[in-house]
Structures are given as structure tokens and as C-alpha cells.
């Protein structure tokens, strides 16, 4: 059985005050995995503050290399050293705004696993790609890059987040049936390599998830939770989204 997961990607938002609000008021009941992805600077505050609660903290980005003269970079090893347990990889904002290629995404995925972080691999098509009927092939290609460089064992300890680019930050959530269809496709694609891994891999949905849309999305059989952006910065809203999945 796949344990449900709800993750918060704060992107370049948040503050010490918001961290304190979460530490004072936010909790999860243990029936699901909750992961917070704050900006790097705030990871330690949350890791230390949530040490006694079953809430994990991850990093939004890692370098593809372990250490050295790379000003401004942070390695997966450092993230583990700080107590982080997950690493986001391949987010469309990193791909599109920072020019991260499929090859670099694969290197970062490998860097996470080498250091002991569980990678959350983000995949998803743009609006043009969907309108051209290429959504599935784009997503399959993004997963295939990892399969080709690591093999199916890559997904024995990884999470996939399907985030259609047209739904991110737009207020336009994918319809539950649309999202379910892509999630089922992703699972079928993994099944071609290994049925057990495909059955056990969690596939989260991301893109304008909020407290009103979460329950319907999470009710779909292949949607194992969510990766939430904007709505994850407000602890009450995020707590409602987490409650929407309790199974």
C-alpha cells in the first residue's frame, strides 16, 4: 500500500515568521507523510523545530556535485548533514527559468540518492505540448531519462510529482480525471520496467492544489497526494489540504 504524501513547495517565499507559525500551529496525524520544502535558509529552523513531530523537511534544489569551488551551490550531502530527507528535482521552474536540462536533472537525481536524500522528481507538459497531443510522450521522456541513467531501481526510493506546467501558479487545477489519466499512464510506463516498483511508487499531483480542489484529486486511485505551492504557505490552508487525503 502506498502511504499518502502531501508536500509543500514554498519556492522563493516564506520568512522566519511563517516558519514560526508552522512550528506553533501545524501538525500532522501520522497517517500520511508530510514534507516541507522551504528555501534553504529556513530548513534548519524547521528541521530542529519539527524534530519531535512526524514532519519531514526537504530541499528545493541540490548541486549535481558533492563539494568544491561552486559558489552559491549547496550539495545533497550538506542537505543530509542538516537533517533534510527529501530533494526536489526537475521542477519546471528550474527547467524553464534556470535552463536545467534533462541530463542535469538526472545528475541531481543521482546526487540526491547518493547522499541519502529521497528525490521527488517533477515531470509535466506545457500547454502547447498538451494541445499538440504530446503530454504523455513528454512525461514519459522525462521519466525515461532517469530510467536510462539509473534503471528502474531509481524508483525504489523516489517519488514522482506530476505537475502540468499550465496548472502551476495559474489557479487552473487539472481536472481530477485528467490528472488521474496521466498518473495511470505514469504507473503503466513504470510497469513496463517493473510491476512491483510501479505499484509502490508514489505519484503526487501538483498545480494549483488548494483546500477546495484537494479532496477530489486525492480520491483518484493513482493520485497518492499533492505537491502544493501557493496554498502551502498558509498553515491553516495547508492543514486542510493534508486532511483531505487522510485515508
Which residues bind to ligand 13P, rule: CB under 6 A?
9, 91, 163, 168-169, 206-209, 227-231
CA 159 to chain centroid, in Å, comes to: 7
CB-wise, 19 or 231, nearer to ligand 13P?
231
Residue 125 neighbours by CB under 8 Å, 6+ apart: 134, 135, 138, 139, 164, 165, 166
CB-wise, 154 or 231, nearer to ligand 13P?
231
Cβ–Cβ under 8 Å, residues 210 and 241: yes
CA distance 218 to 241: 10
**Rounded least distance, CB 50 to ligand 13P, Å:** 20
- In the structure grid, which three cell numbers stand for residue 35, read together? 514534507
CA distance 19 to 38: 9
CB-wise, 75 or 232, nearer to ligand 13P?
232
- CB closest to ligand 13P, residue no: 229
- In the set 93, 100, 125, 163, the catalytic residue is 163
Residue 159 neighbours by CB under 8 Å, 6+ apart: 5, 86, 118, 119, 120, 121, 201, 202, 203, 204
**Rounded least distance, CB 166 to ligand 13P, Å:** 10
- In the set 91, 100, 129, 183, the catalytic residue is 91
CB-wise, 77 or 223, nearer to ligand 13P?
223
Catalytic site includes residue 129:
no
**Rounded least distance, CB 82 to ligand 13P, Å:** 21
**Rounded least distance, CB 191 to ligand 13P, Å:** 25
**Rounded least distance, CB 192 to ligand 13P, Å:** 27
CB-wise, 129 or 163, nearer to ligand 13P?
163
DSSP letter for each residue of 154-175: GGGG-EEEE--GGGTTSS-PPP
Beta pairing, strands 55-59 & 202-206: unpaired
Catalytic site includes residue 91:
yes
CA 151 to chain centroid, in Å, comes to: 20
Task: Indicate which residues carry an active-site annotation.
Answer: 91, 163
Amino acid at each position: 500500500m502506498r502511504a499518502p504524501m502531501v508536500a509543500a513547495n514554498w519556492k522563493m517565499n516564506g520568512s522566519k515568521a511563517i516558519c514560526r507559525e508552522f512550528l506553533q500551529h501545524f501538525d500532522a496525524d501520522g497517517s500520511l507523510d508530510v514534507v516541507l520544502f522551504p528555501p534553504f535558509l529556513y530548513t534548519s529552523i524547521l528541521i530542529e523545530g519539527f524534530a519531535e513531530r512526524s514532519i519531514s523537511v526537504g530541499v528545493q534544489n541540490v548541486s549535481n556535485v558533492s563539494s568544491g569551488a561552486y559558489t552559491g551551490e549547496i550539495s545533497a550531502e550538506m542537505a543530509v548533514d542538516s537533517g533534510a530527507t527529501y530533494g526536489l528535482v526537475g521542477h519546471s521552474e528550474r527547467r524553464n527559468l534556470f535552463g536545467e536540462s534533462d541530463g542535469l536533472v538526472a545528475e541531481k537525481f543521482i546526487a540526491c540518492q547518493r547522499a541519502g536524500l529521497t528525490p521527488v522528481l517533477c515531470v509535466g507538459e506545457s500547454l502547447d505540448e498538451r494541445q499538440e497531443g504530446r503530454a504523455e510522450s513528454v512525461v514519459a521522456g522525462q521519466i525515461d531519462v532517469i530510467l536510462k541513467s539509473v534503471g528502474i531501481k531509481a524508483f525504489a526510493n523516489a517519488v514522482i510529482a506530476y505537475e502540468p506546467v499550465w496548472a502551476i501558479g495559474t489557479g487552473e487545477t487539472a481536472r481530477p480525471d485528467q490528472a488521474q489519466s496521466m498518473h495511470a499512464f505514469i504507473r503503466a510506463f513504470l510497469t513496463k520496467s517493473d510491476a512491483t516498483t510501479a505499484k509502490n511508487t508514489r505519484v503526487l499531483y501538483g498545480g494549483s492544489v488548494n483546500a477546495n480542489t484537494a479532496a477530489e484529486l486525492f480520491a483518484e486511485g493513482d493520485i497518492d497526494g499533492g505537491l502544493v505551492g501557493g496554498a502551502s504557505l498558509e498553515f491553516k490552508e495547508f492543514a486542510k489540504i493534508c486532511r483531505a487525503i487522510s485515508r
